[in-house]
């Protein structure tokens, strides 16, 4: 949550900060601000609302302002207004910072600082960090810095960070050091981009890639100090460390709209190409096996697993639920999917030969990362399924698989979901092959998996037909999404997509559970979306459709092409290609993504920036 960008170099900082904030706006768009250093003067401009509002308030870029920090906010503590916008100043006016994260002990620290005469202007937890650093900087208890290699600003930052409980990604400046930029990280992502005589700190590579592809990923409890002479990295306990430089694996084109009206639509339409890349080099059609290089050294432990626990949140949890069904069906290993936010606060039973799979598009989801750390402490082998190379979960887990679908900018996840299911399918097929699946069965699933991208292409061609369905139904405020078996999680995901971007209340259910309460909601004209493709429970779901129709509901039915029987049960029919039951979710979810997209556009909503949501949930 929240976007941070900071710059020190040889160009005016203001346009670089604004450009970076625009690229990070999907991480938060409640308010925004920039702070620019001019000699020993700090100029801060901030506003509530979108980046465009902030941009309109700024004067022409000053060529001498080559150091600055910027922030776009997703509110946690304090309402989204100008006062609570970042950057925040300390009480002396010398130190400014931008923050992503949550400080859990801010109340105690604020009470202490008020007692010391510090004043506060905002309702945020972030201002506590600024004032704590400012207090230590101005009142070092009569002592100079205890380390010769630190100036007083660095020492105050280190000392303050050691007092914080919670998470932070920080960019900091001080008017007494007008050519110094500091970044620090714990629990929230922070990346350093290395250009030619210029440096960019950001919470996401999207703000960096236009300027450089050379980056360093900070780890927890690490900080970087940057001056025109170079940079140094150390722990917040002042232990110097060497960080390896990495190469960003996507281009600027990947984060441009490329003619689409919204990133979400672009990413829906990218799914065939994205899945082709995800599957590329991993389906061995000759030997009928799956090649997942990231976990090649761990197949022995994974194959011998007695229990697999999948941890995820939101859309990734829905993908995990499909993965649970796939692994149990094809590999016959006891598998369960848990919300990471619940797992981390339970006392879970993790026995020998338990594997933990963590799924996260960003690789930074706070709850999922905490679940991984808890599992590792209890001796479990951890496996990450993430999209962002170099992300914290990718670096924390013992092994893992990258999605390889490129950046996903739209807040409502689409191509990452289908890729997560594809990776879980590959994992399940290969586990099954190593345990009990015959060669012909493995060949069948691998062949069918390779055809999924072309089958999604066929569904994408239905966009205009689906738009007409949205036009006929999007005024209704309550919907049901119903599926069975492998398509039950698809119903959950379809309902979530509609909620996220159209603000329509929608409930996803196993179709048979409708009779146990939710059927009371059905009234005349209420839309009910059924995933009713040919499967082992086809006849059962036909019965569920009849139950809705008998009570006046309008049925939107996703069914197989050529299924003449089901037409009589559908007020609106969306035909999709035939796919084996286990692999259907990657195809059946696509029309639901398109339906949600068109409904949101028709209702006049900002599809890529839905209210109250941000892309990467890096705070609890």
pLDDT digit string, tens, across residues 517-546: 888 888 889 999 999 999 888 888 999 998
Instruction: Give 90-138 pLDDT, tens digit per residue.
Output: 999 999 999 998 899 999 999 999 999 999 999 999 999 999 999 999 9
Q: Which residues, including other chains, have CB under 8 Å from residue 155's CB and lie 6 or more apart?
A: 136, 140, 145, 146, 147
Instruction: Convert the pLDDT of each residue in 468-504 to its tens digit.
Output: 999 999 999 999 999 999 999 999 999 999 999 999 9
Query: Among residues of the chain, what percentage have pLDDT more than 70?
Result: 97
pLDDT bin (cut points 50, 70, 90) of residue 145 is low
Q: Which of 166, 208, 168, 210 is nearest to 191 (CA)?
A: 208
Assess contact for 61 and 15: CB atoms under 8 A: yes
pLDDT in tens, 339-359: 999 998 888 889 899 999 999
Measured distance CA(240)–CA(510) in Å, rounded: 54
What distance in Å separates the CA atoms of residue 149 and residue 170, rounded to the nearest whole number? 21
Radius of gyration of the chain (CA): 26
What are 21-58's pLDDT values in tens digits?
A: 988 887 777 889 999 999 999 999 999 888 889 989 99
Domain 3-248 sits in CATH 3.60.20.10: yes
Residue 467: other Cβ atoms inside 10 A: 18
Q: Supply the pLDDT for residue 616.
A: 60
Q: Into which CATH architecture does domain 462-620 fall?
A: 3-Layer(aba) Sandwich (3.40)
**What would the pLDDT profile of 247-268 be if each residue is shown by its tens digit?**
887 777 777 888 899 999 999 9
In 506-538, which positions are buried (b, 16+ CB within 10 angstroms) versus exposed (e)?
bbbbbbeebeeeebebbeeebbbbbbbbebebb
Confidence of residue 142 (pLDDT cuts 50, 70, 90): very low
Contact predicate 216/248, CB 8 Å: no
CATH code, residues 256-459: 3.40.50.10490
Would 3-248 and 256-459 be classified into the same CATH topology?
no
At 346-400, the pLDDT tens digits run 888 898 999 999 999 989 888 999 999 999 999 999 999 999 888 889 999 999 9
Q: Are 106 and 56 in contact (CB under 8 A)?
A: no
**Does 617 have pLDDT greater than 90?**
no
Average the pLDDT over 185-209 and give the result: 92
Mean pLDDT of the chain: 92
What tokens does 423 get? 């990776």
* Segments of 129-254 assigned E as strands: 168-174, 177-186, 191-194, 199-202, 214-217, 222-227, 230-235, 246-247
Phi/psi at 229 (nearest 5 deg)? Answer: -85, -15
**What's the pLDDT tens digit per position in 509-525?**
998 888 888 888 888 89
- Distance between CA 57 and CA 354 in Å, rounded? 55
Q: What is the pLDDT of residue 140?
A: 65
The pLDDT value recorded for residue 130 is 96
Where in the sequence numbering do the catalytic residues fall? 2, 615
Q: Give the domain ranges of the chain.
A: 3-248, 256-459, 462-620
Residue 204 and residue 208: Cα distance in Å, rounded?
8
Q: What is the pTM of this model?
A: 0.84
Can you list the positions of beta strands (E) in 513-576?
527-531, 554-560, 572-576
């Amino acid at each position: 949550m929240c976007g941070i960008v900071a710059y020190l170099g040889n160009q005016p900082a203001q346009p670089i900060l604004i450009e970076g904030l625009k690229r990070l706006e999907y991480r938060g768009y409640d308010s925004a601000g920039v702070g620019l250093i001019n000699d020993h003067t700090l100029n801060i401009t901030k506003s509530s609302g979108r980046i465009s509002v902030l941009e309109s308030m700024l004067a022409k870029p000053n060529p001498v302002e080559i150091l600055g920090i910027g922030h776009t906010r997703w509110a946690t503590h304090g309402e989204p207004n100008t006062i609570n916008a970042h950057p925040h100043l300390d009480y002396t006016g010398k130190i400014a910072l931008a923050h992503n994260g949550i400080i859990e002990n801010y109340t105690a620290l604020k009470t202490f600082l008020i007692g010391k005469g510090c004043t506060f202007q905002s309702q945020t937890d972030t201002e506590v960090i600024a004032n704590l650093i400012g207090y230590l900087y101005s009142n070092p208890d009569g002592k100079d810095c205890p380390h010769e290699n630190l100036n007083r600003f660095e020492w105050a930052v280190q000392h303050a960070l050691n007092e914080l409980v919670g998470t932070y990604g920080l960019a900091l400046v001080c008017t007494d050091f007008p050519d110094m930029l500091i970044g620090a990280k714990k629990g929230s992502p922070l990346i350093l981009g290395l250009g030619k005589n210029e440096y960019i700190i950001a919470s996401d590579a999207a703000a960096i890639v236009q300027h450089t592809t050379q980056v360093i990923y900070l780890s927890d409890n690490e900080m970087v100090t940057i001056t025109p002479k170079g940079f140094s990295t150390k722990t917040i306990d002042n232990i110097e460390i060497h960080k390896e430089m990495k190469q960003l694996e996507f281009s600027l084109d990947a984060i441009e709209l490329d003619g689409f009206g919204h990133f979400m639509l672009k990413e829906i339409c990218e799914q065939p190409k994205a899945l082709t890349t995800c599957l590329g080099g991993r389906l061995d059609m000759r030997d009928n096996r799956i090649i997942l290089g990231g976990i090649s050294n761990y197949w022995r432990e994974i194959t011998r697993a007695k229990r697999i626990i999948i941890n995820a949140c939101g859309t990734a949890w829905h993908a995990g639920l499909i993965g649970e069904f796939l692994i149990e069906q094809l590999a016959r290993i006891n598998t369960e999917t848990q919300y990471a936010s619940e797992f981390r606060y339970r006392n879970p039973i993790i026995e020998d030969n338990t594997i933990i799979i963590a799924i996260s598009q960003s690789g930074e989801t706070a709850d999922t990362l905490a679940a991984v750390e808890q599992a590792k402490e209890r001796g479990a082998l951890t496996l990450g399924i993430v999209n962002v190379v170099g992300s914290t979960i990718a670096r924390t887990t013992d092994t893992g698989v990258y999605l390889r679908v490129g950046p996903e900018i739209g807040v409502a996840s689409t191509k990452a979901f289908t890729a997560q299911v594809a990776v879980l399918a590959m994992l399940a097929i290969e586990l099954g092959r190593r345990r009990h699946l015959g060669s012909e069965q493995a060949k069948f699933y691998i062949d069918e998996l390779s055809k999924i991208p072309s089958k999604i292409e066929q569904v994408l061609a239905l966009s205009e037909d689906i738009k007409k369905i949205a036009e006929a139904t999007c005024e209704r405020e309550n919907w049901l999404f119903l599926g069975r078996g492998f398509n039950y999680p698809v119903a959950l995901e379809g309902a979530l997509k509609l909620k996220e971007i159209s603000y329509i209340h929608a409930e996803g259910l196993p179709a048979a559970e409708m009779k146990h309460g939710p059927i009371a909601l059905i009234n005349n004209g209420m839309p009910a979306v059924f995933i009713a493709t040919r499967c082992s429970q086809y006849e059962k779901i036909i019965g569920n459709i009849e139950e809705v129709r008998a009570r006046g509901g309008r049925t939107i039915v996703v069914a197989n092409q050529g299924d003449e029987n089901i037409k009589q049960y559908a007020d609106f029919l969306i035909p999709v290609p035939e796919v084996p039951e286990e692999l259907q979710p990657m195809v059946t979810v696509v029309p639901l993504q398109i339906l949600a997209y068109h409904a949101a556009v028709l209702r006049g909503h900002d599809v890529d920036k839905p209210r109250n949501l941000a892309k990467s949930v890096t705070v609890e």
